[in-house]
Amino acid sequence: MSKELQSVIFDHPLIQHKISLMRDKNTGSKEFRELITEVTMLMCYEATRDLPLTEVEIETPVSVARAKVIEGRKLAFVPILRAGMGMLEGALQMLPAAKTGHIGLYRDPETHQPVEYYCKLPGDIGERDVIVLDPMLATGGSAVDAIRQIKIRGARSIKFMCIIAAPEGVEALSKAHPDVQIYIAALDECLNANKYIVPGLGDAGDRIFGTK
């Protein structure tokens, strides 16, 4: 069995500040979407730290230079619908050449178990390093299931990026997929009786899309 990777939890003041604004129930959908985009961009900085570089020769206005550029690494973002879509714009702004796959899952309101309704991944997913996007890691059921579906179709490596996680979700995901590096912008206290993250930010999909 592969070694369990340590989760990365962000303590950067900019990220913490923006998440506090997202948590506020008086923050409307427009501002919420802008904030989730900004937080995702900041998280990408750390989540792509291991991207390999290669040297090229370029001409500056002054001289010829050996300069570093990201090696042609194949990446794919896979947002978990719906709420994962809120993180896609920020991710693609940082890495515009990445392909995008989609996995549709919703949590049954009674059982809290994930229900699958869609999966469309790039045809060459087996050659790609995948970053799964979902703002909320609550029980972990949705993330565990989405990553299982990606593994069935193949991927070179998988990372999972979320804005807010509950300890229960981190434990479940780490146990089910110990090879997946988890990036968490804020680790919260617990889940409530309805399996919502406390203090959390409520229903991420509703906050992004203005539903409910």
Residue 74 CB, nearest approach to ligand URA (Å): 30
173 binding ligand URA? (CB under 6 A) = no
Which residues in the 104-133 window bind ligand PRP by CB under 6 A? 105-107, 112, 114
200 binding ligand PRP? (CB under 6 A) = no
Residue 123 CB, nearest approach to ligand PRP (Å): 25
Whether 145 is a known active-site residue: answer no
Q: Please identify which residue in 39, 91, 138, 143 interacts with ligand URA, judged by CB under 6 A.
A: 138
Taking alpha carbons only, the member of 189, 195, 203, 191 closest to residue 113 is 195
209 binding ligand URA? (CB under 6 A) = no
Give the pairing of strands 53-59 and 64-70. antiparallel
Residue 83 CB, nearest approach to ligand URA (Å): 6
Q: Which stretch binds ligand URA (CB under 6 A): 4-12, 39-47, 117-125, 203-211?
A: 203-211
Nearer to ligand URA, 40 or 76 (CB): 40
Q: Is 68 exposed, middle or buried (0-12, 13-18, 19+ CB in 10 A)?
A: exposed
102 binding ligand PRP? (CB under 6 A) = no
Catalytic residue among 24, 111, 124, 148, which? 111
Q: Please identify which residue in 129, 149, 195, 202 interacts with ligand PRP, judged by CB under 6 A.
A: 195
CA 153/CA 155 separation, integer angstroms? 7
204 binding ligand URA? (CB under 6 A) = yes
CA 130/CA 160 separation, integer angstroms? 8
**102: β partners:** 120
DSSP state of 199: S
Which residues in the 79-108 window bind ligand URA by CB under 6 A? 83
Chain-centroid distance, C-alpha 64: 39
Taking alpha carbons only, the member of 131, 118, 123, 144 closest to residue 181 is 131
Whether 11 is a known active-site residue: answer no
90 within 8 A of 96, measured Cβ to Cβ? no
Coil/strand/helix, residue 201: coil
Coil/strand/helix, residue 92: helix
142 binding ligand PRP? (CB under 6 A) = yes
Which residues make up the interface to ligand URA (CB under 6 A)?
Answer: 83, 136, 138, 196-197, 200, 203-205
